[in-house]
Amino acid sequence: EVQLVESGGGLVQPGGSLRLSCSASGFTFSSYAMYWVRQAPGKGLEYVSAISSDGGITYYADSVKGRFTISRDNSKNTLYLQMSSLRAEDTAVYYCVKDLGVGTTDTFDYWGQGTLVTVSS
Amino acid sequence: DIQMTQSPSSLSASVGDRVTITCRASQSISSYLNWYQQKPGKAPKLLIYAASSLQSGVPSRFSGSRSGTDFTLTISSLQPEDFATYYCQQSYSTPDTFGQGTKLEIK
């Protein structure tokens, strides 16, 4: 059974940093692209960042470029999102998401339960 | 970025009704269109991918279709567990973009 378990969320002050982790199991982690998608309270879904199966290719939404860094450790089956210079508008539930296909299809077949990041003083 | 416009933004319907939700892309995205269902406090769930392919385990009352840059999610006979918010997402070009969502409520 595929499982994605996020951790690392919490309350942080504006300008602060936080690192999210996503522990994956139930599939060959190193074969799939992975993503972070966020959802602000009461709002829709926003694509944040993507990383290829081997970690060699990454992508960031303009809203987080230069502030967030996605990475992965295939030996630990873990996905990360390092967030810095956090702003109030980064407040959201952050979901770790798996790609449907081997390779990169940008189709999201499994989602974690989400971890809430709140940026506030 | 490609804009995805969903309609309606909300919809009231009854159990047993046939329901249609539409998503329009701002440019051609071929059939790179996915549909998700989200219930309150839960993560989204993939229903349809590549415009019309049913994800494994999803009931056959859900279906998707494409006409040019217009895409449709149809629920043939609403069940109580279908009341949720539905999102479309284009996977044609990065950044992937989502529609604003359609909230399906019980009449």
For every residue of B46-85, DSSP letters joined together read EEEETTTEEPTT--TTEEEEEETTEEEEEESS--GGG-SE
> Is A45 close to B45, i.e. CB distance below 8 A?
no
Residues in chain A: 121
Cβ distance of B91 and A106 shorter than 8 Å: yes
Per CB-CB distance under 8 Å, the chain B contacts of A59 are 94-95
The reply to whether residue B43 touches residue A62, judged by beta carbons under 8 angstroms, is: no
Q: What is the pLDDT of residue B4?
A: 98
Q: What's the CA gap between A105 and A52, in Å, rounded?
A: 10
- Tell which of A107, A110, A111, A116 to mutate to test the B interface (max B CBs under 10 Å): A107
Query: Mean of the per-residue pLDDT values for chain B?
Result: 97
Residues of chain A with a CB closer than 8 angstroms to some CB in chain B = 44-47, 50, 59, 61-62, 95, 100, 105-109, 111-114
Half-sphere exposure of A38 (CA within 13 A, CB side): 23
Residue A95: band (very low, low, confident or very high) from pLDDT cuts 50, 70, 90: very high
In this prediction, residue A103 has a pLDDT band, given cuts at 50, 70 and 90, of confident
Alpha-carbon gap, residue B106 to A72, rounded angstroms: 42
pLDDT at B88: 98
DSSP letter string over A64-121?
A: TTTTEEEEEETTTTEEEEEE-S--GGG-EEEEEEEESSSB----EEEE---EEEEE--
CA distance to partner chain B, nearest, from residue A62 (Å)? 9
Q: What is the pLDDT of residues B8-19, one digit of tens each?
A: 999 999 999 999
Enter the tokens of residue A85.
């210079």
Low-confidence ranges of chain B (pLDDT < 70): none
Average pLDDT for A62-73: 98
* Cβ count within 10 A of residue B22: 17
